[in-house]
Chains A and B, each alone.
Chain A
Amino acid sequence: MQRKSNLVSNLDWGTIVLYVILVLMGWMNIYAAVYSEEHNSILDFSQRYGKQLIWITFAFFLGVVVLLSNGRIYSVFAYIIYGLVILLLLSTLVFGRVVNASKSWIPLGSFGIQPAEFAKFATALALARLMSPYEFKLNTFWSYVKVGLIIAIPAGIILLQNDTGTALVFGSFVLVLYREGLPWWVLGVLFLLVALFISTLVFSTPVIIVALYVTTVLIYMLQRGKFKFAISLTAGLTGLGFLLYLASQTFNIQVKTDYFYIIPVGMGIVIATLYAFFSRTKMIYGLVLFLCVTVGFSLSTEYVFENVLDVHHQKRINDLLGIESDPLGWGYNVNQSKIAIGSGGFWGKGYLSGTQTKFNFVPEQSTDFIFCTVGEEWGFVGSLVVLALFAWLLLRLIRIAERQRESFSRIYGYGVVSILFFHIAVNIGMAVGLLPVIGIPLPFFSYGGSSLWAFTILVFILLRLDADRYGTFKG
């Protein structure tokens, strides 16, 4: 009996209230998205809002079950849960049903579940279990391999199911790793590579390479203060490029324009290396390496983009970056989504009064594009309120994670934060046209049993662990 009273008083009720508010707001928007004058009984189970009501009821039930369970089982059974989910994912590959080109559903009677949704909290548990022992340090090669495998196995299988969006979610665990000791520059490099990838697609190769060269020189100058050498070298190389150009014009030699910047930059690298050797400035080696790697990366980006990515991914990225535009073709979803949200204006059109959503102009409007309904009917104010609630939830979860004494609970807590943050940022970012179309649900809002249950379990396990935070050393 004492355990129970502890549970009630130790539970983070604020988070539970936030959760309930978000789930109910989500349901209201699903109702609005599907609403029509003909079908308006909220208990019409042939409609999505009716079904979602069932999923929500069951989600609350799941939440209570998790809260009443013994908090120890999650760390003890972490690997077993992880293993079971992997098995389930593999069996989906074999027995799964194909919906929207992804083979990610296991049919169960008249409906189905998506094991990929449950893989998220299972991976968070397994990761926490792996990294929580005191001896574990994220600094050896093998520690990285183990962590990498835990994350990559489910992500890989989900990728094979052709569900790229959900697989990308697993990338968000890099935040957990950062919190647990991954050096900051790894995040920095990741960020740099993403920026480079995008800018390579937007700008032409010469611009990128020259910009990288200038960046490198700037870093050198800021670090060493050798302005004279850097500026004279740059001026010389620019002159060389110009001379090459003049020569080719004068003697009428047909040369690919690429040579006019490749030769000077190549010579720059040689001169810099020689300079480093004679002046014994070790830093220049690092800078030369940086220049070579980034140039190589940007040169390979185009190849990767053309040959590795699917056409529809290419088009989504091109659309986002404004390289190509076809609002009636593949840019349709985002364009319609932006029109829906944009037309909401400051105050919104009012609940159930959205026109875009009523005409089914936004595809997937009760699942991946549910935020359109928020934006259209509740306007900027309502969107901001939803955003604020999500932010509040995330910051609250960080606070919970940080107050744990057991590292297992803390690591799991950051796993929860990472997954939720990725989902919220990417889903809303996509709806407002900041990110390419990646089909992942908005937590607690999007229609669908599997995702709602998985997010519920994800959050409530953390709450359960949190309720034990004072009793850690008791048993």
Chain B
Amino acid sequence: MRFNFQADKRFTITGLIIIVFIIIAGKLFYIQVIDRSYQLSASSNVLRYVTKYPARGLIFDRNGNLLVSNKVVYDLMMVKKQVVPFDTMAFASLLNITTDHVRDAFVQASRQKGYSPRKSVVLLKQLPAEACAMLQEKLYLFPGFELLPRTVRLYDREVASHVLGYIGEVDEEIISKNPYYQLGDYIGISGLEKSYEEYLRGKKGVSVYMVDVYNRIKGSYEDGKYDSAAVEGQNLICTLDADLQEYGEKLMQNKIGSIVAIEPRTGEVLAMVSSPTYNPGLLVGRERADNFRTLQNDSLKPIFNRSIMALYPPGSTFKVVNALIGLQEGCVYPQTTYSCHGGYTVGRGVGCHIHPSPLNLTQAIQMSCNTYFCHVFRNILDKPEFGSVEKGFTVWKNHVESFGYGNKLNIDLPNEQKGIVPTVAFYDKYFRKGGWNSLTILSLSIGQGELAATPLQMANLVTIIANRGFYLDPHVVRAVGDSMVRNSNVPEKHYTTIDTQWFDYIVEGMDMAVNGAPGSGSTARIAALPDIRICGKTGTSQNPHGADHSVFFAFAPKDDPKIAISVYVENAGFGATWAAPIASLMIEKYLRDSISRPYLEDYILQANLLDRRAKKK
């Protein structure tokens, strides 16, 4: 039998189609009729994946004190189809809630996205374990309900809310970006909870069950072959000293501002206070959303982490930077003296307070003389070797940036601000090209004008001075896991562009500012301690938002620095009045663990500076 050419091809194609369809039909016959494993029974062929949630990692302070742990709460789940009419009264009283609350929850649940009466949905979230104990025993009376354990954060000490951060439920956006998360999961939203999310969260496990049409569990699927265990989250050892942190928050009560303390040798952040603060426990549990709204609407912005996000003018504390740049560039010498009689009078001029005159460099820092630093700043920018003020300014700016200004310090916390250091381009635009000179931007000499830094950057500056010329990346986590030994992120060491030799003159000036003889013109004698040599510098930073900010930064002891600290108190006036005593108390607390000047402590604790905010104008 021979096909002709036409029919042959048609026959082949038809044959191919029929063969393929027969193969498909054969496979269908196999999986639908022969292989019973796909239909173990008509009613137990649906798999249900029950997620096993790992406990989130704990957070300890540098001395092993527990800061953040977990507690068990329960989500009350419901499968509407299985619910039979029940005694709402009894149900509500078991949970210690009103019957209206239960009815509300039912309505809410049915409005959820993806709601199905056959699926398990959340009816009530995060019920405390105590409330569930009663219900758990009587649960058999209420078919269709189930209690699902979840863990939420428990704060053993109500400190460091801004550093620790908080967790919250994932939203659709996060889920679409990262398939690890499913609806109802928690994720770190701010602070360490966010930056160390991947270590803290652990790994979810899953149990696979077979359930019937009514979603009842019929047993483990293939003897748990596909189950996986949950892996607990790793712990964090952070660098904070919980006692110091707590003390700092206490001192800052009823004040707005920030304290940052760093261990100069390591770059470890010992305390990071942002005031006003809030109780971290407020952002846990069922009231979280309400509390969050209240905090967010508060005019004092308690959620805002001022330590790394607020930008302040550095004020007089910045004089030490100008002094160092001047020394490095040969624009001023330690023995250079300038006289000052009430201010610098060239151009618009800069006023000064009353102090002895003339002064050398160390004395100028001791007494915070504005005039002296106007001279230094102009000497740098107008140095003939640079040729132009633009060139001089760029040299100055590069030095300033080597101190960590104008760039993020890459601390291991989210949302760090980089501060502001102006550029030539900025001034060319602000004035016009060639339309500015060292006099127009004279405010920079005393840390005002177009400069802004975070409290962390200020603490880092004093770290540099304490170390005589370098800093290590500031960080808040020392180790991941249970070991107290550093095992993560060895911090990088950064040298400034200033030679080490010049720092001694600055240190001397800061020493004298605190420890100078009475009547010598020292600005921060209030901070002095008899047995600890504190070196410090005050600042009173002018700002457009009201009264001056009170600024102080210091390190101690002078010869073996163990702590470097910056204190900002918003709208509080002179640096010496508020910031200096706070810094002094913090240093004493950290180095001595006791307070020798209760009167000073009282003076700070009693002060309420909140109402000064809007007074100026």
Contact = CB atoms under 8 A, between A and B. Distances in A.
A359 B20 contact: no
A179 B9 contact: yes
Contact of B213 (A37, A179, A355, A380): A355
B32 A421 contact: no
A355 B38 CA distance: 13
B25 A341 contact: no
A341 B32 CA distance: 7
Given A179-B9, A391-B18, A417-B13, A429 B24 contact: yes
Interface stretch (B40-48, B187-195, B533-541): B40-48
B208 A328 contact: yes
A395 B17 contact: yes
B45 A425 contact: no
A363 interface: no
Interface stretch (A152-160, A271-279, A342-350): A342-350
B24 A428 contact: yes
Interface size class of B (residues with CB under 8 A): 35 or more
Interface in B272-327: none
A327 B24 contact: no
Contact of B32 (A346, A402, A429, A434): A346
B509 to A, nearest CB: 61
A339 B28 contact: no
A384 interface: yes
Nearest to A426: B20
Contacts of A379: 32
Interface string A169-199: 0000001001100001000000000000000
A145 B119 CA distance: 56
A178 B32 contact: no
Per DSSP, chain A at the interface is helix
Contacts of B9: 178-179
Given A328-B208, A339-B38, A356 B13 contact: no
A36 interface: yes
A320 B298 CA distance: 59
Contacts of A299: none
Contacts of B117: 36-38
A358 interface: yes
Contact of A387 (B10, B25, B32): B25
A342 B38 contact: yes
| Main SS class of interface, B | helix
Contact of B46 (A37, A361, A394): A361
B354 interface: no
B63 interface: no
A380 B13 contact: no
A99 B28 CA distance: 31
Interface in A245-267: none
Given A36-B116, A38-B117, A349 B42 contact: yes
A315 to B, nearest CB: 15
A375 B14 CA distance: 25
A129 interface: no
B46 A342 contact: no
Contact of A345 (B6, B21, B32): B32
B29 interface: yes
B28 A341 contact: yes
A434 B23 contact: yes
Contacts of B49: 328
Contact of A432 (B28, B42, B213): B28
26 contacts: A36-B117, A38-B117, A175-B13, A178-B12, A178-B13, A341-B28, A341-B32, A342-B32, A342-B37, A343-B39, A355-B45, A355-B213, A379-B32, A380-B28, A380-B29, A390-B21, A391-B18, A391-B21, A394-B17, A395-B14, A402-B6, A421-B17, A429-B20, A432-B24, A434-B24, A434-B27
Given A398-B13, A417-B13, 4 more contacts: A345-B42, A383-B32, A425-B21, A432-B27
For the complex of A and B, list the 10 residue pairs with the smallest distance between their C-beta atoms, beginning with the closest.
A342-B38, A342-B31, A380-B32, A343-B39, A343-B45, A432-B27, A355-B213, A391-B21, A425-B20, A328-B226
Interface of A: 36-38, 175, 178-179, 184, 327-328, 338-339, 341-346, 349, 355-356, 358-361, 375, 379-380, 383-384, 387, 390-391, 394-395, 398, 402, 414, 417, 421, 425, 428-429, 432-434
